[in-house]
Amino acid sequence: MATCQICNRTAATISGALGVCLTCIRENPGESLRITEKAHMQSRAAFGLSEKPPNDPEGISCTICVNQCKIPENGTGYCGIRINQGGRLKGLTSSRGKLSWYFDPLPTNCVGAWVCAGGTGEGYPNYAYGPEAEYAYKNLAVFFLACSFNCLFCQNWHFREERIYSRTRSFEALVAAVDERTSCICYFGGDPSPQLPYALKASREAIDQHKDRILRICWETNGSMRPDLLGAMMQLAIDSGGCVKFDLKAWDPNLHLALTGVTNDRTLDNFARAATWIDRRPTPPPLIASSLLVSGYIDEQEISAIAKFVADLDPNIPYSLLAFHPQFYMSDLPVTPKDLANRCYQAAKDSGLNKVHIGNAHLLT
């Protein structure tokens, strides 16, 4: 149990690290964000990361994501993979990335498995090897060891322990990992956004080397990338039978800042852009939304607003509600209660979405 530093209410659904409750974030955002900003700065300093996106007027600009870092001499960008050395931006490029990968037998527990070609056979014979789940095939799961957000509830936070040049791999090594039983490549992390030039280059090369068979390209992302990079992602996904899965973490802009440290403006704008691509290949669905039901902070009010936004773009966009497991700086919160998941499910349906799914249901209490 933790106590909100503003209203002094104590509850199991208040994060001690965050320091404020959901009600105060909504009703007193100014004071709340001053408190949560300190929590983000402390969490990043613990891993040697820049406490805020650098904004040095004399710095070098990095435009890959929403943070628009202006990196000072000998400083690093917010994601931690680019450095200003001698007035030049150095670090990871399209040819080398900070990542790891493994094979995941299909069907897997990926966010889109309930509607994607590999999990259901949808799109057969053009985009799937059979009319049902691809049990004889596997997914090459590519985990990027960097992120453009700073979610205090991060479910994969351990990547922050990796130093900047540890586990860097060439794009050729990733392409070489694709074998004849690999039917899809899925990029996640962390997040693909900071290393999209690498992922795009590797994807194109992999497709070129396996042009006579199905090889889907999928992405799981916070959606913070530059719009032209999103367009390249969508093109690869649509052409190959893959999908782009957006993690819509919160609707309220102040809540999003409190939980992730970064604005959701680019994410929402990019999701709307991505929705304009759906008609180019409506099946299997090229765009999927998801939200993590963080106990005490993401409630049916948030889900209803997100779902309405998605439904207004296209009511057939699949939306997955994911059960939360306590992690990272918000490890003192409870697992998502089953009744909250059910209420959020109904809120999403009532907001006009036709395809709503509860993921990680085994975690619900």
Q: At what angle do helices 29-45 and 253-260 cross, to 10 degrees?
A: 20
Nearest-angstrom CA–CA distance, 207 and 145: 23
For the chain, 365 residues long, the average pLDDT of each consecutive 10-residue run is 97 97 98 98 95 96 96 95 90 89 94 96 97 97 96 93 74 97 97 97 98 97 98 98 98 98 98 98 98 98 98 98 96 97 98 96 88
Q: What is the pLDDT of residue 90?
A: 86
Torsion (CA) 287, 283, 280, 235 in degrees, nearest 10: 50
Nearest-angstrom CA–CA distance, 163 and 155: 19
Q: What is the pLDDT of residue 161?
A: 84
Neighbouring C-beta atoms of residue 95, cutoff 10 Å: 12
Both structure tokens of 107 = 């069907």
Nearest-angstrom CA–CA distance, 155 and 168: 22
Q: What are the residue boundaries of the structural domains of the chain, listed by start?
A: 1-46, 50-91, 96-363
User: From residue 233, how far is each of 193, 210, 265 by CA, in Å?
Assistant: 10, 18, 19
pTM for the model: 0.96
Which phi and psi (to 5°) does residue 322 adopt? -105, 130
Q: Are 196 and 152 in contact (CB under 8 A)?
A: no
- Helix residue spans in the chain (DSSP H): 22-27, 29-45, 117-120, 171-176, 196-209, 227-240, 253-260, 265-275, 300-313, 338-350
Signed CA dihedral, 40, 41, 45, 46: sign only: negative
Alpha carbons within 13 A on the beta-carbon side of 24: 22
Both structure tokens of 335 = 């697992």
Q: Which fold has domain 96-363?
A: TIM Barrel (3.20.20)
Nearest-angstrom CA–CA distance, 192 and 97: 10
Torsion (CA) 38, 41, 43, 49 in degrees, nearest 10: 180
Q: Cα(first)–Cα(last) distance of the chain, in Å?
A: 18
Signed CA dihedral, 248, 250, 252, 255: sign only: negative
